[in-house]
Structure 1
């Protein structure tokens, strides 16, 4: 089995676990760097010479597909939470604008009374 491929797969697994942890903690600052490093690992793996069976075996051994699925689920979950929060803020902002509009005095009306 290709040891370099194994090393890359281990590193990819660690980066994926770290990404899941960061998303769950909502610490998004370092996430971009980690996702970029994962992409670099993928690019490096593509440049390697290896057997397809070796790659499949390592993916199963390191549970890469399950981890990737978990990362996607966590990211989608957080995305939905943020979307709900943004919608609440928009509703509140719209309600405040409407409420304030009702009680504001029109400048033309104010000038006519004086």
Structure 2
């Protein structure tokens, strides 16, 4: 199994996210968060079936403007966007099927 990509500290701006033309999952968390580590295999398994959906792992925390603009308070928080519009949100997901259902709502290629 390949190692999972780390959460990125170089987050796009909210304006950039709002202008994205396709399906995107914003995955807010941190590399040291136990909840994030526990959820990651579920997120990876669900995302594997939706290659057209961009999955952006964004490091979150105090003073991080993108997470604050989405009112993220717990990690991991997954925000499912279709053309920059929030369609679904999952906080601390514990089931890959629930993640797949949210992905299906934004994936028009499947």
TM-score by length of 2: 0.23
State the TM-score, normalizing by the size of structure 1. Answer: 0.22
Q: Radius of gyration: which is bigger?
A: 1
Structure with the bigger percentage of helix: 1
